[in-house]
Amino acid sequence: MYKIFSTKDVKEWNRYISFCKKKDLFFSLEYLDLFEKSGNGNGNLFVYEKKNNYFIFPYLINSLKEYGYENYDNYYDIQSPYGYGGFISNTDNEEFIKESLDNFDTFAKENNIIASFIRFNPFISKFPKDSKFLNILFNRDILYIDLTSDLNSIYKKVYSSNQRNMIRKGRKQLTIKYSNNEETFKNFVKLYIQNMKRINAKKFYFFDGLFFDQFFENFKNNLMIFTAEKKTNPDEPISAILVLFDTDYSYYFLAGKSDKNKDNSSTNILIHKALIFLKNKKINIFNLGGGNSIKSDDPLFKFKKSISKNCKPFYIGTMIHNQKIYDEVSSIWLEKNPNLKKNQKFLKYQFNE
């Protein structure tokens, strides 16, 4: 049988998550609560259990009315929050995973959920090789560093010569500090917003002040900010990265640069210093993420590949539970946004021109 828990069900949420050996903070109540309090939907946890086997899926649920479809206020959709999510389980049994998905589809149909969009954690998520409900799509490769290797091996065998050169340059010109206090966090947010404006990032990446306030509150013990300052101009941050970490996994989560930053070595040495910090905490994996696109010549992907060539595929999943309503709202959206006809996003009806 399946069960649904909200972010108010703290004890139950944590209890079921604890049954799975492989997990991280993206599956935590605190992470879903962060998006819920920022107005991005209600955080829920789907649990299917059978004979001490558990299938767990945290998600955000929204009414279609939230996207402007007044006549569809009794219909909903589901998606993983920003970052990495998906399904976790305490078993690799393929038949159990399929049976769990069958039950999830039943739950969705019974509760007027028209579609689900899932971002799978490359290191943790489980999904069947084939399913009549779930469509698995390759999105892009992500790059990571295996922190169980010794630092000398990583420096000489994993890093490219360019990465080593940039670290040496950074050591000469920059002072690196790290902290997770509130003042450092607020300064990081300023750099992040500056950077997003400078690169004309999509609205999706401009998290509001409420989001950042809640982020710090929920994860101040699971984040560290690494900041670069010029030795010739101390106490003025020019670049910073925010790293999230849990027991086994860590993530190069957000980055920011000052408009005055002309030093292209700052991010390289910041990542290196973060790696040393994470190794000292005995964390196993440092996920650098992927590029801004699927293209092999994507600049961000090429930059990260100069740090590590270790790749894992990042998959997304789509499920349509009510084809009729999904097609109806998609058609309404297309009529309102004819210029976005080429938009291939699965939940494209959420976005306006």
What is the CATH number for 334? 3.40.630
| Sequence letter at residue 140 | R
Residues 304 and 157 in one domain: yes
What are the φ and ψ backbone dihedral angles of 13, each rounded to 5 degrees? -60, -50
Q: Is the domain of 194 the same as that of 277?
A: yes
| pLDDT tens column, 211-229 | 899 999 999 999 999 999 9
C-alpha dihedral sign at 243, 246, 248, 253: negative
54 lies in the same domain as 202: no
Strands (E), the chain: 2-6, 42-50, 53-63, 76-79, 88-89, 113-119, 135-146, 174-179, 223-230, 237-245, 249-257, 285-289, 311-320
219, 25 contact by CB (below 8 A): yes
Judge if 129 and 209 occupy the same domain.
no
Q: What is the pLDDT of residue 339?
A: 83
116/196 same-domain check:
no
Taking alpha carbons only, the member of 61, 107, 96, 97 closest to residue 81 is 61
* DSSP-derived pairing of the beta strands 249-257 and 285-289: parallel
Domain shared by 125 and 34, yes or no:
yes
Q: Which domain holds residue 269?
A: 142-313
Closest to 286 (Cα-Cα) out of 254, 250, 322: 250
Number of domains composing the chain: 2
Q: In the chain, how long is the greatest CA-to-CA distance?
A: 64
Are 61 and 44 in contact by the 8 Å Cβ rule? The answer is yes
What pLDDT, on a 0 to 100 scale, did the predictor assign at position 353? 55
Same structural domain, 186 and 302: yes
Residue 292: the pLDDT is 85
Which residues of the chain register pLDDT less than 50?
Answer: none
Report yes or no: 173 and 263 within 8 Å, Cβ to Cβ: yes
Clarify whether residues 222 and 299 are in a common domain.
Answer: yes
Write the CATH number for 216.
Answer: 3.40.630.30
Beta-ladder partners of 254: 242
Same-domain status, 203 and 58: no
Whole-number Å distance between alpha carbons of 139 and 65: 29
- In this structure, are 165 and 263 located in the same domain? yes
Same domain, 232 and 284: yes
Residue 83 falls in which region: left (phi positive, over 0), alpha (psi -120 to 50) or beta: left
C-alpha to C-alpha distance for 281 and 328, rounded to whole angstroms: 51
CB 176, CB 269: distance < 8 Å: yes
Tell me if 222 sits within 8 A of 31, measured CB to CB: no
CA trace torsion 166, 169, 170, 174 (10° rounding): -160
98/186 same-domain check: no
